[in-house]
Structure 1
Amino acid sequence: MPKKIGGCIFMSRRKYTINKSTCSIFAIICSLLIMLMATAQAAEKQDAPVWRLDSKPGAVLPRSFRFMTDEFSQSLNPVPSRQGMDALRCSASGEFSGSGLSMIRDKIYQHAGKNAVIYILDLRKESHGFINGDIPVSSYKKKNLDNYSISSAAVPQVEEKKLRSIVGREITFVPLGNADTKLLTACNVKVEKAETEEALVARLGMNYKRIPVPDQCAPTDEDIDEFMSFYKNLPSDSWLHFHCQAGHGRTTTFAVFYDILSNPDVTLEDIVARQYALGGTNLFAPGKKNNWKGEEIHKRAQQVRNFYAYVQANRSNKYAQPYSQWIKAQNSREDNTKNSES
């Protein structure tokens, strides 16, 4: 007579032994599948973005806000030259609220006059926007590398989709990181409206330019090409406001680029030092060697040095050759020299 044991039917002792082995294998396979599913779900959960509060909402200037005419906030020895610095038509900051951007605009008009054509230089690759016309938020993934693997051209569409997905929902926006958690308090709101930065800037009567650079990363050669193309077509009365999330690495990098272009006769060391002394990041500070962030810091410093050399070599012809082509030729020349010496 067949016997039913644990859901399996066995016909004889011999068959029972075979079927017992089969059930054991089946149980192991099921266990492995369950473990794989759990691991996948955990990884998916870990990779899922968190909605981050980027800065204080309301009528307040953003962190790290600075004009080039400000006094140095860092005491350096030797004190870097200010030659040409006070004449720079630019400012910088971390992310702002909707009301904060209005305040930035008004301060620039006070500083440069009402005829200033203001361009907001958005250097963030991570998706970000403004909730209910004011609250600055972003989509956060590990190491703040949201959108890291997608092309720059795809970022706006991805960003708009993410912002649309939270309209009508009640969301808690949380501060992240050591600095933010000390400065900001989580806020829970019903999302009535989610606006891109480009839309906010246009609504406030300014111009918008985005060069999406991942947080903590060096700009690529193509990013620099994009910046140079933008720079060469600026009107004479333009004013640039650079910003990223905190107003440090990416913001300082492009402020240094602009300073180099405007003051090519000032030494690179002075330009990097004075942008640091003003409240930015020390772009020449060494990073940790065995660390991805340290590698990016090294690459960023090298890009700054390369860009300075590019400006010296190409300013007489008004930068007719794109940076990416120029640096490729330089690298090829160096490789040929090394090969001939070996």
Structure 2
Amino acid sequence: MLRLLKFGFLFMAAALGYAKPSAPFLVLDGKPNDLLPKRFRVIDSRGLKAIASGQFSERQLVYIKNQLNEPVVIIDLRQESHGFVNGYPVSWYAAKNQANLHKPQETIQAEEQRLLSSLADKKSLLIEEIKAKSKSGEIQTRPLFTLKPERIESEQALAARLGFGYKRFYVTDHRPPTKSQVHELQEFISTVPEDTWIYFHCRGGSGRTTAFVLLYDIFKNGQSLPLSALFKLHHEKGGKDLRLLPEKKSYQYQDAVKRLRLIEEIYVNSHQA
């Protein structure tokens, strides 16, 4: 009976077109042929020089650089393994986009390099995109195109080649940063020259990116605006309203609460300071 039930569940999932990947597989990130990345926004007021978005392509990054014509340092918030193939942004996606959950930074770096290197010998590479996601973290994909891998590089290598600064924080998707990452962010921001833009991004430009841009604002201006005004401001700029929590039965709920509480705590500590 158990085997029949299991088969029935798998058949139903296949019929619906959703699957929970048992191992990470390669997907395209964002809409690389658009002029700008997903959820692109600029925050240039109150002492802030921030850019935020989802994952960019090489062409989009070059366009942004040419428009700004000023120094830019990229803050990459993605824990998941990712890189670029012929300028297209790709990543290895697993259930809930948490393939590297609890892995040490050094392990992620080594595995990411291995995954990127494994593409070099392929004569043809099928590029798929995520078409839809279920509430439980399952996904629906569709093939887009094939290409011959010619230039394969990490985001850090791409940033260096195009003349950008680069800093990576290995933040799990849908989860808050750790307190050590928050402290590291504060320390890093203090070293960035005033004429330099800080470009925050994750995969979609929503949760992780909004949280880090908001923390950046708190570190710069935490005493000048109420926290509610900061949430509202960054939501209106195109970020996620982090005060709006998922339904309680969602796998994202507890982590969304923790993220909100962390931001509130950082704000209070900044205000007291």
User: After TM superposition, is the score higher than 0.5?
Assistant: yes
2-structure distance, mates of 1:187, 1:55: 15
Structure possessing the higher relative contact order (Cα contacts under 8 Å, 6 or more residues apart): 2
CA distance in 2, matches of 1:248, 1:59: 18
CA deviation string 1:62-93 (max 9, x = no partner): 11111125xxxxxxxxxxxxxxx464211111
Query: Which deviates more, 86-95 or 299-308?
Result: 86-95
Contact 1:56–1:135 (Cα < 8 Å) also in 2: no
* Structure 2 SS opposite 1:300: helix
The answer for the alignment partner of 2:235 in structure 1 is 276
Whether the 8 Å contact between 1:59 and 1:99 is mirrored in structure 2 is: no
Q: Residues 62 and 49 from structure 1, CA distance in 2 versus in 1: closer, same or farther, beyond 3 angstroms? A: same
Letter in 2 for 1:305: E
Residue 266 of structure 1 is matched in structure 2 by 225
Q: Larger % of strand: which?
A: 2
Q: Match of 1:304?
A: 263
- Kindly state the Cα deviation for residue 174 of structure 1 after the two structures are TM-superposed: 1.0
Equivalent residues of 1:55, 1:95 under 8 A apart: yes
More helix by share: 1
**In the alignment, structure 1 residue 65 sits paired with structure 2 residue 65:** no
Per-residue deviation, residues 17-68 of structure 1 (Å, max 9, x unmatched): xxxxxxxxxxxxxxxxxxxxxxxxxxxx942211010023347211111112
- Note the C-alpha offset of 1:178: 2.5
Deviation at residue 168 of structure 1 after TM alignment? 2.1
Alignment map for 1:287-302 (pairs within 5 Å): 287-302=246-261
Q: 1:286 aligns with which of 242, 245, 257?
A: 245
Q: Deviations over 1:237-289 (max 9, x none)?
A: 22101111111001100110111122121111000111011111011112222
Q: Percent identity?
A: 33
For residue 182 of structure 2, what is the aligned residue in structure 1? 224
Match in the other structure for 2:207: 249
1:126 aligns with 2:80: yes
Residue in 1 that maps onto 2:171 = 213
Structure 1 pair 224–173 and aligned structure 2 pair: CA distance change class (3 A): same
Is residue 140 of structure 1 aligned with residue 104 of structure 2? Answer: no
Q: Which runs of 4+ in 1 moved over 3 A?
A: none
Where does residue 173 of structure 1 map in the other structure? 127
Cα root mean square deviation, aligned? 2.1
Q: Deviations over 1:287-315 (max 9, x none)?
A: 2223331011101101110111121233x
Whole-angstrom CA distance in 2 between matches of 1:239 and 1:226: 18
TM-score, structure 2 as length reference: 0.84
User: By how many angstroms is 1:185 displaced?
Assistant: 6.5
Greater gyration radius: 1
- Partners of 1:291 and 1:59 in 2: CA distance: 32
The 8 Å contact of residues 53 and 173 in structure 1, kept in 2 or not, is answered as yes
TM-score of the pair, normalised by structure 1: 0.68
| Matching residue of 2:68 | 108
* Cα distance in 1 for residues equivalent to 2:34 and 2:204: 18
* Aligned partner (choices 94, 113, 116) of residue 163 of structure 1: 116
Q: Number of residue pairs matched? A: 246
Is the Cα contact below 8 Å between 1:168 and 1:190 reproduced in 2?
Answer: no
Aligned to 1:237, the other structure's residue is in SS state coil
Q: What CA distance in whole angstroms lies between the structure 2 residues aligned with 1:108 and 1:311?
A: 30
Task: Tell me the distance in 2 between the aligned counterparts of 1:234 and 1:90.
Answer: 12
Segments of 5+ residues of structure 1 without an aligned counterpart are 1-44, 70-84, 110-115, 315-342
- Taking the aligned partners of 2:269 and 2:191, their CA distance within structure 1 comes to 18
- Whole-angstrom distance in 1 between the partners of 2:228 and 2:256: 16
